[in-house]
């Protein structure tokens, strides 16, 4: 990479899924290069580096372990993945001990009604006989109680019994715990007892000569609802710290190759943070978030405000919404059958990926899809690595859509004969069907599952698909987009050439951002006078100031100058007595008058009317502010979306690779095969066609056509 004309990489973003690790390289001119490799769960840096080498190879550059200085120009490196979520799902985190307010030692066992049925179908939720409580993340023998009590106003009504904390610490350390979590009631109002307990625990361990990290809930998640707060602080110790070890390995490889800047990761609400971020549990679902944020960025760049995002990867199908350029946040999400105090962009997921297992019910002989996936190892049957259970991508291969000699650009040779034999034996013959007819039926079934997921998300919000453009991405998104949108009335349907790495692209579009939240108790009566309003304003300003102090300290510790950090104040407001609130960005930094508080409340009422209807307003109940936040942001370099001149509709001759037989809708077709990288803006391709790229495949059925526009978008019409 010594030539002046060589690409100078400015951004590298990575999305490590359950099956594939995708990388997007962006150079100083805004050009993209996509890399892809199998995920390596035992050491994620291996899959990351292999994918990075693949991305550089698209530019004709051999990375040579990074020793040639190819990575030195990098300004931003971002890594996201599903490791933390998988750690929770498989319950293979660190051994954690818990110190909790005495009398609440069984919190993990008792759970909460919503958490006890989380992850169950609607039918199972109705029949409690089918319910099973979660296995506690912390075994009961490693939960110790300590006497203390702070009331809901933040007053210490029972002092902390320090000797109980010392005894609990000694017992937990002797039991071999690798971390200690501490949670006391109402610590989100007054953290004094938790802070004291942490000091006592560290001092006790120092005396013993054995130290493990200590985490307190008032630092990790100072918000109301103790079970969600308990989950959050325990998961920081249980799952986030093992993930941090993987991230440090990746960062070391980058630094050894000359990269000067720290590795970053995506947070669930769409911010970026250093891998040293103290609340790393906030990145538990970092991967799927990037795609939704990337779609919003792309939409803003080309003038599309309403988008449905459909991300089909190897293990799941994730659907999100961008409405009027806004992405909704869920305040208390559930995943891995656990509730969290964590703002997260709203994404609905279903186990419907290219690696989804296909089986027959032994009693009914009906086809069952998943929910398990073959993952990267052993992978689908066609990988020929030991898996004997057919998957969705095996069906795509059998039907002729996937090229067995061009998977990952030819790096992985697929065994079509084995996939065909296993699918015939396991699925087609027991059903008495032709093997191609059965494979087509499987695709129609999984497409119906994904289509229902799209419909349910849009209709549940009270919207109509006719007002939205659907964007398909993920490694399998372009291949199935015609199928899972069949019957949907959409404003438009599109994908991008770098669909396989689009979640990684989305990470590159986000500013460096952290959110800081805490619970409060504020109420504005419906006919409140100015003095009462000013009292609320004083409490609100004090809460914002506390969060800002914390935000600036963390941002500056991460190397940012004070004047580079932009702070945005947020209040979560609801009508008195309601259960849900609305996130309201304050029009001013501080509320200095009753009129400014009225303006904040007016903004809430306007948002409320837009989310629901104007007639749903209820100012007569007064207004509650039970949580506040500060968003700290630092701008960073982003990809460049450029408008390019249009070529004639006829694709260049070099783009046509030949013809291949494809089975679709009950008959065989001679499909034209194109190389995606050789197609130009303005080109139009009629179906039946297959457009191949090293990292994805786009299938164009009959009576459909593909158009490449001036922004680099691929429209199906």
Indicate the angle between helix axes 435-460 and 416-423, nearest 10 degrees: 80
Stretch 598-616: mean pLDDT: 86
Average pLDDT over residues 630-652: 89
Give me 371's structure tokens.
């929910």
Distances (CA, A) of 304 to 289, 481, 493: 19, 19, 12
Confidence of residue 306 (pLDDT cuts 50, 70, 90): very high
Sign of CA dihedral 715, 37, 315, 236: negative
Return the higher-pLDDT residue of 238 and 9. 238
State the chain's maximal CA–CA distance in angstroms.
Answer: 81
Rounded distance between C-alpha atoms, residue 384 and residue 152, angstroms? 60
pLDDT of residue 130: 67
**What pLDDT was estimated at residue 2?**
35
Looking at residue 486, what is its pLDDT? Answer: 94
Is residue 19 within 8 A of residue 39, CB to CB? The reply is: yes
Percent of the chain scoring above 70 in pLDDT: 97
* Stretch among 220-234, 298-312, 390-404 having the lowest mean pLDDT: 220-234
Contact 276, 264 (CB under 8 A): no
List all residues 6 or more positions away from 140 whose beta carbon is below 8 Å from its beta carbon. 105, 106, 108, 109
Domain ranges of the chain: 9-87+244-268, 92-239, 512-634, 653-716
Question: Exposed e or buried b for every residue in 687-713, given b needs 16+ CB within 10 A?
Answer: bbbbbbbbbbbbbbbeebebbbbebbb
3-class secondary structure, 68: coil
Q: Which residues contact residue 51 at a Cβ distance below 8 angstroms, ignoring those fewer than 6 apart?
A: 14, 21, 22, 23, 35, 36, 37
Tokens, residue 361 = 């019910």
Would the pLDDT of 592 be above 70?
yes
What is the structure's pLDDT at 700? Answer: 97
pTM above 0.85, yes or no: no
How many CB atoms sit inside 10 A of residue 398's CB? Answer: 25
Q: Name the pLDDT band for 350 (thresholds 50, 70, 90).
A: confident
pLDDT per residue as tens digits for the range 27-80: 877 677 888 888 888 888 999 999 999 889 888 888 877 777 888 888 889 998
The pLDDT of residue 424: 96
The average pLDDT across 634-658 equals 90
| Res 226 pLDDT > 60 | yes
pLDDT at 470: 97
- Residue 377: exposed, middle, or buried by beta-carbon count in 10 A (0-12, 13-18, 19+)? middle
Max mean pLDDT range (73-82, 123-132, 331-340)? 73-82
Percent of the chain with pLDDT over 90: 56
- Mean pLDDT of the region 225-233: 89
pLDDT of residue 5: 55
Q: Which whole number is the average pLDDT over 126-148?
A: 85
Strands in 492-495's sheet, in edge-to-edge order, are 347-350, 317-322, 307-312, 469-473, 492-495, 714-716, 705-708, 684-686
pLDDT of residue 67: 72
What are phi and psi for residue 180, nearest 5 degrees?
-125, 130
The mean pLDDT value for 94-109 works out to: 93
Alpha carbons 331 and 342: distance in angstroms, whole number: 6
92-239 carries CATH number 3.40.50: yes
> What pLDDT band is residue 324 in, cutting at 50, 70 and 90?
confident
User: Which pLDDT belongs to residue 3?
Assistant: 40
Residue 631 has a pLDDT of 93
143-157 pLDDT, tens digit per residue, is: 999 999 999 888 999
464 and 321 Cβ atoms separated by less than 8 Å: no
Identify the pLDDT of residue 121: 66
Q: Which has the minimum average pLDDT: 128-137, 172-181, 308-317, 457-466?
A: 128-137
Look at residue 276 and tell me whether its pLDDT is greater than 60.
yes
| Mean of all residue pLDDT scores within the chain | 89
Query: Does 99 sit behind a cis peptide bond, omega within 30 degrees of 0 on the bond before it?
Result: no
- Residue 643 pLDDT exceeds 80: yes
Please compute the mean of the pLDDT values over residues 625-648 and round it to a whole number.
89
Domain 9-87+244-268 has CATH 3.40.50.2000: no
Q: Are 250 and 45 in contact (CB under 8 A)?
A: yes
């Amino acid at each position: 990479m010594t030539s002046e004309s060589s690409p100078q990489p400015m951004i590298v973003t990575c999305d490590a899924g359950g099956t594939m690790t995708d990388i997007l390289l962006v150079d100083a001119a805004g050009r993209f290069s996509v890399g892809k490799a199998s995920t390596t769960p035992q050491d994620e840096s291996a899959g990351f580096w292999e994918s990075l080498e693949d991305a550089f190879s698209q530019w004709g550059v051999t990375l040579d372990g990074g020793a040639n200085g190819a990575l030195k120009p990098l300004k931003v490196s971002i890594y996201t993945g599903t490791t933390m979520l998988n750690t929770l799902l498989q319950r293979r985190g660190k051994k954690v001990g818990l110190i909790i307010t005495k009398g609440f030692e069984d919190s993990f066992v008792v759970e909460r009604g919503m958490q006890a049925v989380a992850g169950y179908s609607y039918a199972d939720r109705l029949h409690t006989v089918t319910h099973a409580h979660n296995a506690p993340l912390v075994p009961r023998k490693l939960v110790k109680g300590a006497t203390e009590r702070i009331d809901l106003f933040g007053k210490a009504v029972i002092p902390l019994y320090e000797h109980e904390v010392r005894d609990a610490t000694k017992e937990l350390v002797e039991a071999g715990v690798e971390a200690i979590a501490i949670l006391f009631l109402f610590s989100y109002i007054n953290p004094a007892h938790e802070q004291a307990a942490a000091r006592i625990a560290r001092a006790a361990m120092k005396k013993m000569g054995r130290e493990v990290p200590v985490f307190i809930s008032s630092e990790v998640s100072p918000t109301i609802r103790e079970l969600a707060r308990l989950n959050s602080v325990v998961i920081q110790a249980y799952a986030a710290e093992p993930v941090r070890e993987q991230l440090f390995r990746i960062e070391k490889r980058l630094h050894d190759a000359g990269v000067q800047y720290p590795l970053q990761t995506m947070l669930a609400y769409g911010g970026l943070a250093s891998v040293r971020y103290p609340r790393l549990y906030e990145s538990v679902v970092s991967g799927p978030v990037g795609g939704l944020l990337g779609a919003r960025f792309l939409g803003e760049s080309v003038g599309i405000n309403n988008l449905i995002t459909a991300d089909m990867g190897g293990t799941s199908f994730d659907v999100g919404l961008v409405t009027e350029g806004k992405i909704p946040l869920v305040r208390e999400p559930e995943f891995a059958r656990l509730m969290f105090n964590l703002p997260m962009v709203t994404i609905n997921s279903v186990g419907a990926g290219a690696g989804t297992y296909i089986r027959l019910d032994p009693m009914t002989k009906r086809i069952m899809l998943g929910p398990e996936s073959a993952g990267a190892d052993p992978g689908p049957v066609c990988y020929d690595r030991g898996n004997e259970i057919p998957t969705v991508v095996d069906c795509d291969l059998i039907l002729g859509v996937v090229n067995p000699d061009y998977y990952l650009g030819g790096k992985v040779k697929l065994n079509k004969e084995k996939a065909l034999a296993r699918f015939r034996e396991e699925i087609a013959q027991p059903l008495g069907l032709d093997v191609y007819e059965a494979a087509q039926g499987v695709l129609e079934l999984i497409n119906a599952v994904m289509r229902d997921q799209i419909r349910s998300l849009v209709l549940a919000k009270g919207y109509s698909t006719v007002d939205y453009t659907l964007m398909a991405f993920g490694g399998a998104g372009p291949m199935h987009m015609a199928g899972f949108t069949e019957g949907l009335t959409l404003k438009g349907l599109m994908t991008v050439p770098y669909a396989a790495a689009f979640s990684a692209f989305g990470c590159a579009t986000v500013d460096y951002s952290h959110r800081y939240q805490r619970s409060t108790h504020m109420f504005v009566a419906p006919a409140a006078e100015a003095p009462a309003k000013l009292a609320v304003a004083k409490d609100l300003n004090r809460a914002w100031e506390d969060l800002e102090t914390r935000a600036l300290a963390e941002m500056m510790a991460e190397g940012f100058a004070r004047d580079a950090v932009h702070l945005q104040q947020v209040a979560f407001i609801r009508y008195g007595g309601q259960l849900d609130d609305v996130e309201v960005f304050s029009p001013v930094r501080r509320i200095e008058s009753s009129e400014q508080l009225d303006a904040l409340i007016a903004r809430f009422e306007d948002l409320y009317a837009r989310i629901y209807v104007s007639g749903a307003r209820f100012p007569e109940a007064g207004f509650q502010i039970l949580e506040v936040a500060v968003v700290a942001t630092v701008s960073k370099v982003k990809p460049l979306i450029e408008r390019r001149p249009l070529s004639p509709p006829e694709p260049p001759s070099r783009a046509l690779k030949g013809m291949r037989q494809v089975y679709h809708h009950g008959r065989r077709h001679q499909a034209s095969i194109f190389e995606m990288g050789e197609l130009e803006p303005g080109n139009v391709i009629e179906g039946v066609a297959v457009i191949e790229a090293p990292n994805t495949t786009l299938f164009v059925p009959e009576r459909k056509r593909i158009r490449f526009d001036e922004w680099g978008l691929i429209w199906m019409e």
